[in-house]
Structure 1
Amino acid sequence: MKIKNILVMFSTLLIFILVLNSCYYDQIVPPEIDISDVPPQSFSGDIIPIFNQSCNNAGCHSGAVSPDLRPANAYSALTNGGFINTSSPESSELYQWMLGNRSTPMPLSGPNADYNRRVLRWITDGASNN
């Protein structure tokens, strides 16, 4: 009887281990975005116009919603608010929002590949206030 109980317990444990090992999760790797052909971006000359065109609408990031992307406040709002990560540009909150990887894609009209590449290039180059 004792051996039978041990065999049942061993079999149950073995089945449990096999079931756990059979669980599989596909890790989705986002496609790598090539920015090698994007020229260096200036914050005031290239990035601010993106914000002015698609973010600084009434009720959006014109002071009502964080980050405040109006030209006079945008750089400090992004850098002090933790939206920029120069050591891992692809994981920057600003970039992730622009890709649509957060609850609501930004801009609300949907991701813009050109804007995304330009912002990623600016962050990759150190996110200077130039």
Structure 2
Amino acid sequence: MLCNKKIMGVILAGGIVLFFLQGCYKDKTVVSDTGAVITRTVTFSGDIIPIFNKSCSLSGCHTGGGKPPDLSAANAYNSLKVGNYFNTNNPESSVLYLWLTGKKTTQMPVGGMNKDYNALVIAWIKQGAKNN
């Protein structure tokens, strides 16, 4: 009888541990916050293009002949504008922002982006998404 109580106690404790461990599961789509708040002017050529060069076009994924949008330095702005990838009236609904944060589909770039880069992108969109 004492042995059965010990076994039931171990099973119950194991069940409780498993219940709490399931909350530690990591999904493939990670929603990340935007990082720091940007208060300075963000420029497309000085801030956004370097992010694209480092994270999106370097791998060859989003360059001419790759997957749209073409984020190469020469074509990125027009590709984003023509493809309606940003929405200056509602920046948080911008397709570009939703991809970067993983709120639309698998987070881009795959594996996620630096939160400070996300903050720069959303600040740029909020500032009017200018080709500057």
Count of aligned pairs: 101
Describe the shift of the 1:47–1:37 C-alpha distance in structure 2 as closer, same or farther (beyond 3 A).
Answer: closer
Q: TM-score, normalised by structure 2?
A: 0.69
Deviations 1:52-91 (A, max 9, x none): 0000034400121100000110000001101010000011
Moved over 3 A (4+): 30-38
Unaligned segments of structure 1, at least 5 residues:
1-29
Secondary structure of residue in 2 paired with 1:55: helix
- Cα deviation for residue 40 of structure 1 reads 1.4
Change (3 A) 1:58 1:116: closer
In structure 2, relative to structure 1, the CA distance for the partners of 1:74 and 1:31 (3 Å cut) is closer
In 2, Cα distance between equivalents of 1:118 and 1:88: 16
Give the counterpart letter for 1:46 in structure 2.
Answer: D
Q: What TM-score, normalized by structure 1, do the two folds share? A: 0.70
What value does the CA root-mean-square deviation take over the aligned residues? 2.1
Are the counterparts in 2 of residues 100 and 111 from structure 1 also a CA contact under 8 Å? no
Q: Percent identity?
A: 50
Partner of 2:63: 62
2:112 to 100, 107, 110: 110
Higher gyration radius (CA): 1
Distance 1:59 1:36, change over 3 A: closer
Tell me if structure 2 keeps the 8 A contact 1:122–1:128.
Answer: yes
Q: CA deviation at 1:102?
A: 2.2
CA distance in 2, matches of 1:34, 1:53: 18
